[in-house]
Amino acid sequence: MERKCQAALEFHIPFNRSDENQYPSDFVFDLDPSAGQTFDEVVEVALFIKKELERKVRL
């Protein structure tokens, strides 16, 4: 899965509340399919990221 999103994952700056500079309130992962990739593959990567974040961070 890492190779699939290698050229297609773009990180944006975290969004912080003004009163909590050390703790981002949101992150944006811009997932765009590369040439030859399907939207289903992008969804697979998005679900993988979601699962890993839920496993590592208690929201």
Residues facing residue 11 across a β-bridge? 29
Interval 16-40 mean pLDDT: 78
Mean pLDDT taken over the chain: 75
Delimit the domains of the chain by residue range: 9-56
Closest CA to 31 of 57, 1, 55, 7: 7
30-52 in b/e form (b: 16+ CB < 10 A) is ebebeeebeeebbeebeeebeee
pLDDT digits (tens, 9 = 90+) for 27-37: 777 888 888 88
pTM above 0.95? no
Count of beta carbons in the 10 Å neighbourhood of residue 16: 13
